[in-house]
Structure 1
Amino acid sequence: MKFTFLCKSKPSTTGKKVAIVGAGIAGLSAAGYLVCKGFEVDIYDKQPLVGGMATLAIPSYRILPSDVLEGAEDLVKNFGVKIYLNTKVVCGERHDEGDDFVKQVIDLRNLMKEYHAILIATGTWRSRKLGVPGEEARGVVDALTFLYRLKLIEHGLIKEAPPKPRKVIVIGAGLSAVDAAEEALRLDAEEVYLVYRRTKKEAPCGEYYIEDLIMKGIKWVELAAPTKILTENNTVKAVEFQKMRLGPPDKTGRPAPIPIPGSEFILEADLVIPAIGEISTPPFTFECAELKQFLDEKGYIISKGYRLGNTNVFVAGDVLTGPTKLGEACKHGLYAAKAIEVFLRGV
């Protein structure tokens, strides 16, 4: 992860300062580009480590966190980038997953005044909800929180190991679902089910990952959607599913799952992991008068390009696009950094 691949040493400064909110792959890639163009860069992140989900959510057998950490260390040591960790930047109020280590909160509007440009690269630190009864019971843990806590243990940031699950149900078929199912298997769960409302052909992760999980012993259940979490003393005991059939394509272009009446069935579990996607977490809410016009009704960022209207605020990565792969986040960070360079040079 050589983020400063455009230069061998720090060039002379332009005197312009850029703040990057979010130290994930998009933010670090943008920082590397900007310092090589002579800009002073400060990075703010709410986590105790840089790297975003590459360091704190994606299992180490998919990406080595040390690669990201060493790349960030190079930015600090050799190019003068300042990184402020445990620092949440937000305009308005909102609690997101991954806020566990926040020690100070900075108003985004203050950074807009202090810096010539701001880049928002805060990623997707909220999980989608299933919207079924019993979802708040003990033993129901979304994939992001499940993976995040395992990574915190790996990095020595928390000591409490998760209890060994007996029967695990992972709901979804994206990359987060794949990672959660595989990590549950590595925790020596007796049974791990991966349940998806379509077939493996429509799985966002691709058929290869599904086949690989099946070979490792994970039980694949397709064309089924949860209807309720069954509990006892507010603790999960099982999940009721309803069988589905595929209908005409929906707005995603994939066949729509249609419930089959009277087809309910139950799978026992002591750990249920919803993994139906993450939601972008911009560092401003509808309470932020200066920027609320750039949010749609769901709170997602609206932007035709990398710059938010006529402000000095730019945006890049998953916070704008939704969850993507690391290569896309890297590219997004570089393109946004180029847009910032054009803006600051007055081209």
Structure 2
Amino acid sequence: MSIKNNRLTTAEYEENFTDIHPPFETPDAALVEANRCLFCYDPPCMKSCPTSINVPKFIKQIATENLKGSAHTIFSSNIMGAGCSKVCPVEKLCEGACVYNLMHETPIHIAKLQRYSTEKAMDNNWQLFERKPSTGKRVAIIGAGPAGLSCAHTLSREGIDVTIYEKESKGGGLMTYGIAAYKVTPEFCEDEVNYITSIGGIDIKYNQELGKNVTVEELKRNYDAVYLAFGVGLARQLDIAGEHLEGVEDAIKFIYELRNNDYSKIAVGDKVAVIGMGMTAIDAATQAKRLGASDVTLVYRRTQDEMPCTEHELNIAKLDGCKIIWLAAPKEIKGDNGKVSQLVCDVMKLGDPDESGRRSPVVSGETFTLEVDMVIKAAGQMPFETLVKNNSFENNKGKVAVTDKALTNQEGVFAGGDCVNGGREVVDAVQAGKDGAAAIVKYLFGQDYILDCELKPTFNN
């Protein structure tokens, strides 16, 4: 067993990392699917979307071949509607709520239709919003991820000038650096960032990290308001013996490296164990398999009923040949000559429910051992607690504490997204950005100022 790169041919890498959710092949295919929609009066699909996209409306616009109108409807609610159409767990959101499920029929392919019109808009650079005249107000945003970009676009539409400070060399946050490459490519993420900023009034300063290159106090002096959207990203440690052996990787780092390099350059083991069962764990496991690992096993301390990932995501891992061991928790990692050779696991049983409502895993006293040469830790992410405390923000278990969705304990400073909620879906971060923008506009212009989130389009829809 060994950890090495360049396991596959160029053609095999290309096949393994091709689009897992391909678009409609022809306009007619999109029209046929759009015309399946029942255009419900009180649509459950719209209610299940965190950004409240008017799903029946945008599908009706596709059915009537009004693609600009359809894209405008989507982007009015979710400026990252194109990216979300690729990465959203729609099976538990809009498509999961589709009334066709009650009829035991295939739900409308909402995400695929959403992708159809939004990608047309991006490909053709349709400018669907007209920015209001400049108000002279300036807002600084920390983080060019979904929450930061959503907040920036909403503010820019209102005539507010925005500067985003981003610690990485590219924008997009989790979309660019933390999601499986077969779901969304870095190239698409870059195109989406460019499309969002093309409205004008948004300047992104890259390689600028909070606490190193810029401070909250400095931003408070130089801007009329500040919005924190720096996310989460610290991998939760296992706190077991052998965790620092060669061959033990954080899932976040593993996916980050994969997103930033040619697939052939990413080293992977023959036999890989992935600890966890969230979306990041699934992404790490499936990508390890697609990089050429012969054996990938997901180890989870609870049962399938308690897993944080969706059944759809689990099925992707199963179809890729990944194995799953339920009711198992890592106890020790053993090695030879400083390199991983075995993963010792406790056999678990379920006890009483914990704070999350899920039954707590309890050690049974039995153990088993897996022969492995690589262990990928995906047991969750921790907030940037030190960063939050060093800047004197009230915190909730290390996350930025807010009231009224976006208000921090500091005058003129707002926050949203993963740095507040600890890590949810991309679409939740987009909505948090909208909420933050609404709070900032209210702060800058007064109680009676109404945020116009549905600007008049620059075309006839």
TM-score, length-normalised on structure 1?
Answer: 0.88
Partner of 2:402: 303
> Is 1:272 aligned to residue 380 of structure 2?
no
Does the CA contact (< 8 Å) of 2:247 and 2:373 recur in 1?
yes
Indicate conservation of the 8 Å contact 2:274/2:377, yes or no: yes
The answer to whether structure 1 residue 284 and structure 2 residue 405 are counterparts is: no
Match of 1:222 in 2: 326
Aligned to 1:181: 285
Structure 2 distance, partners of 1:163, 1:184, is 9
Q: Is the 8 A contact 2:131 2:156 kept in 1?
A: yes
Q: Determine the C-alpha separation between the residues in 2 that align with 1:174 and 1:43.
A: 30
Tell me the matched-pair count. Answer: 325
CA offsets per residue over residues 25-56 of structure 1, 9 Å max, x none? 11101111000011000011011110001011
Aligned match of 2:234: 126
Q: Structure 2: which 5+ residue stretches go unaligned?
A: 1-73, 82-126, 448-461
Matched residue, 1:99: none
Q: In structure 2, do the counterparts of structure 1 residues 282 and 34 end up closer, same or farther at CA, with 3 Å as the change threshold?
A: farther
Q: What RMSD, in angstroms, separates the aligned Cα atoms of the two structures?
A: 2.2
Question: 1 CA distance for matches of 2:346 and 2:207?
Answer: 43
Residue 17 of structure 1 aligns with which residue?
A: 138
The answer on whether the counterparts of 2:136 and 2:161 sit within 8 Å (CA) in structure 1 is yes
Hey, what's the Cα distance between the residues in 2 that align with 1:37 and 1:190?
53
| Aligned equivalent of 1:327 | 427
Cα pair 1:120 1:282 within 8 Å, conserved: no
Instruction: List per-residue Cα deviations over 1:245-275 (Å, max 9, x = no partner).
Output: 11121111111111111x1111011110010
Structure 1 residue 283: Cα displacement: 8.4
Whether contact under 8 Å (2:346, 2:367) holds in the other structure is yes
Cα displacement string for residues 273-293 of structure 1 (whole angstroms, at most 9, x for unaligned residues): 0101112237834333xx24x
Moved more, 6-15 or 301-310: 6-15
User: Which residue does 1:33 correspond to in 2?
Assistant: 154
Checking the alignment, whether the CA contact within 8 Å between 1:316 and 1:336 is kept in structure 2 is yes
- Deviation of 1:303 after TM superposition, in Å, equals 1.9
Return the structure number with greater strand share: 1
2:266 is aligned to 162
CA positional deviation for 1:304: 2.4
Q: 1:135 aligns with which of 243, 246, 249?
A: 243
Residue 49 of structure 1 is matched in structure 2 by 170
Q: Distance in 2 between matches of 1:61 and 1:4?
A: 18
Q: Read off the aligned partner of 1:312 and give its amino acid letter.
A: G
Shift of 1:208: 3.1
CA contact 1:171–1:195 (8 Å) conserved in 2: yes
2: distance between equivalents of 1:71 and 1:213? 27
Aligned residue for 1:238? 342
| Distance in 2 between residues matched to 1:149 and 1:68, nearest whole Å | 16
Q: Which residue of 2 aligns with 1:89?
A: 210
Of residues 33-42 and 6-15 in structure 1, the stretch that sits farther from structure 2 once superposed is: 6-15
Higher helix share: 2
Gapped regions of structure 1 (runs ≥ 5): 91-103
**What corresponds to 2:258 in structure 1?**
150
Alpha-carbon distance in structure 1 between the residues aligned to 2:241 and 2:408: 39
Other-structure match for 1:259: 363
Inter-partner Cα distance in structure 1 for 2:355 and 2:199: 48
Of structures 1 and 2, the one with the larger relative CO (CA 8 A, separation 6+) is: 1
Determine the C-alpha separation between the residues in 2 that align with 1:135 and 1:160.
Answer: 26
Q: Which residue of 1 aligns with 2:108?
A: none
Aligned-residue sequence identity (percent) comes to 34
**TM-score where L is the length of structure 2:** 0.67
